[in-house]
Structure 1
Amino acid sequence: MDSCRRETVVLALLLSLFGLSSALDYSIVREDSPERNELRSDQEMRWLYEEWIVNHDKSYSDEVEKAKRFEIFKDNLRFVDDHNRPGNNNTYTVGLNQFADLSDEEFRSMYLGPPLNLSAMPSPPVSKRYIPKRGQYLPTSVDWRRWGAVSAVKNQGVCESCRAFATVAAVESLHKITTGRMITLSEQELVDCDHRNKGCKPGYLHYTYQYVVENGGIDTASHYPYRGVAGRCRADRRRVVSISGFRKVPSYNSYALQYAVSYQPVSVAIEASSQGFRFHRSGVFGGPCSAETNHFLTVIGYGTDYNGIEYWLVKNSWGTGWGEGGFAMIQRNVGGSGRCGILTYSLYPLMNSWVRALGRNITE
């Protein structure tokens, strides 16, 4: 074992003896401080850093790079500490995750695209199905996980393929709702074969849906597994689950999105650049963020928390280390474009059997 690796393991063992690991989830404020305002020493933060390296299987090219990452790690620890301080009365908590050694600029360039030009984004017809009518009843809360209609959280890695994950999640869910069978589908096929989008570069949600329609379906994740890099479109891909079309939820209409989500999960665009969102841990995310959307995810429900804060329940594609096992609550009914622009652009898939079950015409 080389000396660097040996030092890392020893420090990690020391961490476990001193019981410091809980700080990785919450803050760097000393738990034994009555005022909770005494920051950990540089040595304690180094111990936390070494444990984080082991837990996330990180390695660096040399000691210079490792030291650079430690400085960024400390900055992110300070943010976690400041945000979670009880006196701040935030509606959500943050905690360190796999992004803890990245600067804001690095995170945005690796995991997010530039702000989406929504005016130039291709768009299907706006839904007539999900325009609420006067007196329309809606459930007070929805969580499609309770019905087994949400697949396990996945991880897009450094490939900017969130559009593929947001599309696949909605199609998987609708197939389960319609047929009773959950089939995990292939994001990699969309990365490789949807040529109107450009592999692991930022793209349009509309094109991913259009590919599934025009291709006659999409393959399973087991047959066409995710690799996180763009590759050649496989000729042996299969068409296991198909959709008959897709529609857009009316923009800037919280009630319309709520109505749609009461029937099925919906793919949406949001702005995800802030440290608060990057390190989100629990509670209802209330910003800061803007309406300049740069990320896609899937709304799988909605509700109201015990403090009376209304929220959207979302599924992300950053693995289970983000949020609450890969899921999060985002504040709902704030007006305008919604929190983080969540009301600006939303698409959902159609299936013939689901439309017939609703007694609706497929052209709606």
Structure 2
Amino acid sequence: MGLCQVENLLAILFTVYAVSFASTVEYEERAAREGWLRSEQEMKWLYEEWGVEHDKSYSEQGEKEKRFEIFKENLRFIDDHNRPENNHTSTVGLNQFADLTDEEFGALYLSAPINVSAEPSPPVTSRYAPKAGQVLPHTVDWRTWGAVSRVKNQGTCESCRAFAAVAAIEGLNKIVSGNMVTLSEQELVDCDQRNRGCQPGFIYYTYDYVVRNGGIDTDWRYPYTGVQGMCRRNRARAVKITSYETVPSYNEYALRRAVAYQPVSVIIEAHSRAFRFHRSGVFTGECGTRTDHFVTVIGYGREYNGIDYWLLKNSWGPSWGQGGIGKIQRNFGGAGKCGILIQSVYPVMRWWAPSDADGEGTRGSE
């Protein structure tokens, strides 16, 4: 490396440090002035408690101290976000991601932006297209009908597509059969050869695997390990689907109509720090349409403050949102909040024909 390159690198590092230092000083000055600054000791106590709660341990020398500095920065963001005068529609809180930078979180838990237009897809169905005269429920929450299984955790395996598809299949199976059978994401990681295990992939391939395989095993027979392994030969076909279909894109009403009948897999941009630490309320923060994370829409409604929302089941464990369930703004327009209207997919069972039900099959309250 030449002298000029070294000087440029040092200049960049100094600038990053100066900006970070200025941000920290500004935070501390404002916090001290307004009386809400946490002491170093208090943050240390919180860090230790948080580490025990999330079973954190660091083997490399100095790693714990490095992670503490990142933890403090994230804690400052959380404290500042939750200040009442900021008038945010959602709160944030500490979870298992609190010792990660934005870059580390994205690399470990999100995929690179997925080009959904490049994904081979089934024809868009008219099953959930707008229907004249149909009145949909004002509120839907498939948890109240037992059609949402426990929240699971994908870990650092980028297998969110498997969790989003499994949650939708579990939900439809409960609606059709009356039985909640929790299914195997690990089978999809190991056996879906057109996707690449713990690498980012396409959700259409995920659903297509279940159709072509003649079903999917239960998670107690084929439990989740979070790493790609050999595909088991003795797997069962506990739940079968006939096919899968897409909701018309960029159409709030169509997605609402679909969710009134069954849980639906969607892709969103989840890179925002406010989304990463989401705790309660409706997320209305900054985000774009990078489409880097799959989740399952399990309902919709309106918050007491008048904000319409989609109800999401995530795959980041129970410390995200409220037990792993969160809300994101609905009726946002365009591609939807965080791109939620770009790609919506749901499973189909031959004997389930909601398009003939004229609203009678929906679950909600008028």
2:300 partner amino acid: Y
Q: Please point out which of 287, 292, 296 is paired with 1:294.
A: 292
Give 1:355 shift: 2.3
1:105 partner amino acid: E
Contact 1:287-1:339 within 8 A present in 2 as well = no
User: Residues 356, 290 of structure 1: CA spacing in aligned structure 2 closer, same or farther, 3 A cutoff?
Assistant: closer
Residue of structure 2 in register with 1:82 after alignment: 80
Cα distance in 2 for residues equivalent to 1:133 and 1:195:
38
1:298-325 alpha-carbon deviations (Å, 9 max, x no partner): 0000000100100000100000000010
Contact 2:261-2:354 within 8 A present in 1 as well = no
Q: Please point out which of 114, 117, 131 is paired with 2:115.
A: 117
Stretch moving more, 79-88 or 131-140: 131-140
Residue of structure 1 in register with 2:20 after alignment: none
Say which SS state the counterpart of residue 311 (structure 2) adopts: strand
Cα distance in 2 for residues equivalent to 1:197 and 1:143:
31
Contact 1:332-1:339 within 8 A present in 2 as well = yes
Give 1:34 shift: 11
Residue of structure 1 in register with 2:158 after alignment: 160
Identity of aligned residues (%): 66
Residue of structure 2 in register with 1:95 after alignment: 93
Give 1:359 shift: 6.3
User: How many pairs align?
Assistant: 330
Q: Please point out which of 307, 332, 341 is paired with 1:334.
A: 332
1:151 partner amino acid: S
Give 1:287 shift: 1.8
Give 1:62 shift: 3.6
Contact 1:36-1:85 within 8 A present in 2 as well = no
The within-5 A match list for 1:343-358 is 343-355=341-353, 358=356
Cα distance in 2 for residues equivalent to 1:66 and 1:359:
57
User: Residues 181, 50 of structure 1: CA spacing in aligned structure 2 closer, same or farther, 3 A cutoff?
Assistant: same
Say which SS state the counterpart of residue 282 (structure 2) adopts: strand
TM-score normalised per structure 1: 0.88
Give 1:207 shift: 0.4
Residue of structure 2 in register with 1:170 after alignment: 168
User: Residues 198, 44 of structure 1: CA spacing in aligned structure 2 closer, same or farther, 3 A cutoff?
Assistant: same
Residue of structure 2 in register with 1:241 after alignment: 239
1:236 partner amino acid: N
Cα distance in 2 for residues equivalent to 1:313 and 1:100:
24
1:100-150 alpha-carbon deviations (Å, 9 max, x no partner): 001100000000001111210221111111001222210001000000111
Residue of structure 1 in register with 2:317 after alignment: 319
Give 1:63 shift: 4.1
Say which SS state the counterpart of residue 329 (structure 1) adopts: strand
Give 1:292 shift: 1.2
Cα distance in 2 for residues equivalent to 1:296 and 1:352:
25
Give 1:273 shift: 0.3
1:25-61 alpha-carbon deviations (Å, 9 max, x no partner): xxx99xxx99854311112111111111111111111
Residue of structure 2 in register with 1:11 after alignment: none
Determine if the alignment matches structure 1 residue 56 to structure 2 residue 29: no
User: Residues 356, 269 of structure 1: CA spacing in aligned structure 2 closer, same or farther, 3 A cutoff?
Assistant: closer
Cα distance in 1 for residues equivalent to 2:306 and 2:333:
17
User: Residues 54, 306 of structure 1: CA spacing in aligned structure 2 closer, same or farther, 3 A cutoff?
Assistant: same
Cα distance in 1 for residues equivalent to 2:293 and 2:170:
20
Residue of structure 1 in register with 2:66 after alignment: 68
Determine if the alignment matches structure 1 residue 231 to structure 2 residue 229: yes
1:224 partner amino acid: Y
Determine if the alignment matches structure 1 residue 148 to structure 2 residue 125: no
Determine if the alignment matches structure 1 residue 204 to structure 2 residue 193: no
1:183-233 alpha-carbon deviations (Å, 9 max, x no partner): 000000000000100000010011000000000000000100111000000
Say which SS state the counterpart of residue 68 (structure 1) adopts: helix
Contact 2:128-2:355 within 8 A present in 1 as well = no
User: Residues 243, 307 of structure 1: CA spacing in aligned structure 2 closer, same or farther, 3 A cutoff?
Assistant: same
Residue of structure 2 in register with 1:46 after alignment: 44
Cα distance in 1 for residues equivalent to 2:285 and 2:98:
19
Say which SS state the counterpart of residue 164 (structure 1) adopts: helix
User: Residues 106, 216 of structure 1: CA spacing in aligned structure 2 closer, same or farther, 3 A cutoff?
Assistant: same
2:40 partner amino acid: D
Structure 1's unaligned 5+ residue stretches are: 1-27
Cα distance in 1 for residues equivalent to 2:179 and 2:295:
22
1:210-264 alpha-carbon deviations (Å, 9 max, x no partner): 0000000000001001110000000001111000000000000000000000000
1:1-43 alpha-carbon deviations (Å, 9 max, x no partner): xxxxxxxxxxxxxxxxxxxxxxxxxxx99xxx99854311112
TM-score normalised per structure 2: 0.88
Say which SS state the counterpart of residue 50 (structure 2) adopts: helix
Cα distance in 2 for residues equivalent to 1:34 and 1:271:
35
Give 1:358 shift: 3.9
